[in-house]
């Protein structure tokens, strides 16, 4: 039943954008009811409302005691990551965050996306050490136990794979897939650890030192080179995620976390950092993490994940049950700082309206945006466009594609479009 459609017309529901975008403040004051993406709630008759309640078994029988480590409800088994194997490899694999099944801005640790080139190593923290050497006055090693004695800071920040949304970058035809499948290589957590500047000051960096070659303790010795300037700024040795020790697929017992930079630079299972005067040009930097531009140049060390937004509800493969009122909701982020605004269009980009940003709006973190929308049952296209505090605006797909060769997919941050068909089905499209 569509509850809203049985109500008399409400003059307070003012459209401020094409396609049914509504004024949020006047909508909230109007008392109108939402039709959710699942179903409308039924109205009880007077007889039903007065009927003697029938109690289910869980209100008659004592429940189970708490477990040593809490797990999700058995009824939430559909809320899980989706796995992917890259290049038909059994060890270069990943798992996507189910963005379209979550709410808020914090990604649960068990649902945080993960990509690993050579599987997940089983590392005993008691045997793990971290070394800084190279252009330093005194090379040093730290055990995990020693590092845990240093001052720890915590920040809520996103992490995004440089290849997130790659399907929309390289596929000539839009893939008919979910938000999770296309955009699920991004998550946001509270990361806690030791500022790198403490350790760098302790070893004494030589003036020649400009870069740090950061190496993981996985079987493939994943290496990324990071500018020392970034390490002194806001990089940490992350030991905790969402309050608990980071998990094995997030780099246990320690990982590098460089806020706003592409995911692969946040080296997991970190065990060595060599201070150098120039980048070492690792195998991954030469083969995977570079972008070919439309003018036949190769961009390396592009670092930042640029401003981006995604509508998560309604989104690909979801089904609207009927025409009526909905809340368009999604996430926005920028590797350079805070989100300034997010605009939403429900008419293929003809008109744009500023969405409401749920606070707090933090630097290099997920920001949730919402706006009320009245769907009239006709086909339409939903889009979102983010702007960060420095004026960087999320580009259209055509704008982004004009900068790069057709086979380039790293750092894809173009506007995403969802087609809502007359039958309520939602599909990925290009606009």
Residue 190 has pLDDT above 60, yes or no: yes
**Low-confidence winner among 25-34, 107-116, 316-325, 411-420 (lowest mean pLDDT):** 25-34
Give pLDDT tens digits for 345-401.
999 999 999 999 999 999 999 999 999 999 999 999 999 999 999 999 999 999 999
pLDDT at residue 31 in the model: 66
Which of 79-83, 202-206, 208-212 shows the lowest per-residue confidence on average (mean pLDDT)?
79-83
Q: The tokens 């989104």 sit on which residue?
A: 315
Q: What is the pLDDT of residue 6?
A: 33
Q: Averaged over 198-209, what is the pLDDT?
A: 97
Q: How far apart are CA 20 and CA 406, in angstroms?
A: 35
Which tokens hold the place of 353? 């309206």
For 393, which DSSP code? B
Residue 11 pLDDT: 55
CATH for 120-176+185-288? 3.90.420.10
pLDDT in tens, 118-166: 899 999 999 999 999 999 999 999 999 999 999 999 999 999 999 999 9
Cα(28)–Cα(254) distance, integer angstroms = 45
Please give the helix or strand (H or E) that residue 203 lies within, else none.
helix 196-203
More confident residue, 238 or 49: 238
Contact 114, 96 (CB under 8 A): no
What digits encode the pLDDT tens for the residues 59-103? 999 999 999 999 999 999 899 999 888 877 777 889 999 999 999
d(CA 143, CA 129) in angstroms, rounded, equals 5
Strands (E), 107-152: 114-116, 129-134, 140-143
- DSSP per residue, 32-91: PPPPPSS-PPPPPPHHHHHSPP---GGGTS--PPPPSS----GGGTT---EEEEGGG-SS
Give per-residue pLDDT as tens, 162-185.
999 999 999 999 999 999 999 999
CA distances from 410 to 8, 168, 304, 425 (A): 50, 11, 11, 29
pLDDT (average), residues 279-294: 86
- Answer yes or no: is pLDDT of 419 > 60: yes
How confident is the model over 226-238, as a mean pLDDT? 98
Do 381 and 431 meet the contact criterion of CB atoms below 8 Å apart?
A: yes
């Amino acid at each position: 039943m569509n509850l809203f459609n049985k109500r008399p017309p409400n003059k307070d529901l003012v459209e401020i954008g094409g396609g049914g975008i509504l004024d949020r403040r006047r909508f909230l004051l109007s008392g109108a009811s939402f039709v959710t993406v699942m179903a409308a709630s039924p109205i009880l008759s007077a007889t039903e409302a007065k009927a003697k309640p029938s109690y289910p078994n869980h209100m008659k029988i004592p429940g189970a005691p708490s477990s040593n480590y809490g797990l999700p409800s058995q009824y939430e088994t559909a809320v899980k990551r989706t796995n992917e194997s890259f290049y038909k490899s059994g060890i270069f694999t990943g798992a996507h965050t189910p963005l379209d099944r979550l709410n808020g801005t914090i990604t649960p640790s068990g649902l945080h996306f993960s990509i690993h080139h050579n599987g997940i190593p089983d590392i005993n923290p008691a045997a793990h050490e971290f070394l800084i050497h190279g252009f330093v006055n005194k090379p040093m090693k730290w055990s995990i136990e020693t590092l845990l004695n240093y001052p720890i800071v915590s920040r809520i920040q996103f992490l995004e794979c440089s290849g997130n949304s790659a399907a929309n970058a390289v596929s000539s035809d839009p893939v008919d897939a979910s938000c999770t499948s296309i955009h699920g290589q991004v998550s946001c957590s509270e990361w806690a650890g030791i500022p790198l500047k403490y350790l760098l000051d302790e070893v004494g960096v030589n003036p020649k030192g400009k870069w740090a070659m950061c190496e993981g303790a996985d079987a493939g010795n994943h290496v990324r080179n990071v500018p020392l300037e970034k390490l002194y700024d806001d990089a940490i040795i992350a030991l905790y995620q969402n309050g608990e020790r980071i998990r094995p697929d997030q780099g246990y017992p320690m990982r590098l976390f460089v806020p706003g930079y592409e995911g692969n630079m946040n080296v997991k299972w970190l065990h060595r950092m060599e201070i150098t005067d120039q980048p070492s040009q690792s195998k991954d930097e030469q083969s995977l993490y570079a972008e070919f531009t439309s003018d036949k140049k190769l961009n390396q060390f592009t670092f930042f994940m640029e401003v981006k937004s995604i509508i998560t509800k309604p989104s690909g493969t979801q089904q609207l049950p009927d025409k009526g009122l909905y809340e368009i909701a999604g996430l926005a982020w920028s590797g350079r700082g805070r989100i300034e605004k997010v605009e939403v269009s429900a008419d293929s980009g003809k008109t744009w309206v500023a969405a409401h940003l749920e606070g707090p709006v933090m630097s290099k973190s997920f920001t949730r945006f919402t706006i009320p929308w009245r769907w009239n049952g006709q086909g339409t296209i939903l889009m979102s466009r983010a702007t960060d505090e420095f004026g960087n605006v999320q580009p259209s797909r055509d704008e982004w594609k004009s900068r790069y060769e057709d086979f380039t997919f790293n750092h894809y941050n173009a506007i995403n479009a969802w087609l809502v068909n007359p039958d309520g089905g939602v599909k990925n499209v290009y606009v």
